[in-house]
Amino acid sequence: MLIDARPAWSAYAYYFVLAAVLFLGGLAAGNQATVLGIIAALAIVGYVWYKRRGIRYVVTDRRMMVVTGHSSKMTNEAWMVDIKNLKTGASFLERVLGHGHISVDSDITSAGFGRFSGMTFGGIDNHEQIAQIIRERQNSAKMD
């Protein structure tokens, strides 16, 4: 296993801003609104923690996968030799927060699942370094 990562905490910045607004709004309103603001903010932070824990990005020497789920798991996988396109990117906010995304496409067709349309590693730290590792493994797999 070359990479085993999760989305960066900063990928959920919008949720944290919303939680802060609700928390501060509750404090400013006083009385019962304070309790509701704290509960709402904690619920949002709990949701982000739960959501983030349910996503893993895995790269091995032969394939890459997005594994999702908690009690039941689902994978989206691509073999390195089948990857046709690799794209990296980072919006302005992603660059400020120190993460980006990696997308791959493949022309695989599989019975029962239709055409494989690709996968994205979203909100990942060091996305350019990870993309370079994927490129190197892809080149090695195609040379073998």
Asked if residues 103 and 87 have their Cβ atoms less than 8 Å apart, the reply is: yes
Label each residue of the chain as H, E or C: CCEEECCCHHHHHHHHHHHHHHHHHHHHHCCHHHHHHHHHHHHHHHHHHHHHHCEEEEECCCEEEEEECCCCCEEEEEEHHHEEEEEEECCHHHHHHCEEEEEEEECCEECCCEECCCEEEEEEECHHHHHHHHHHHHHHHHHC
| Confidence band, pLDDT 50/70/90 cuts, at residue 7 | very high
User: Is the pLDDT higher at 65 or at 31?
Assistant: 65
Looking at residues 7-29, what average pLDDT do you find? 93
Domain residue limits, the chain: 3-7+59-143, 14-50
pTM of full prediction above 0.85: no
From residue 110, give the alpha-carbon distance in Å to each of 64, 77, 116: 17, 12, 7
Out of 12-26, 52-66, 99-113, least confident range: 99-113
Q: Per-residue pLDDT tens for 114-131? A: 555 678 999 999 899 999
Residue 29 has pLDDT above 60, yes or no: yes
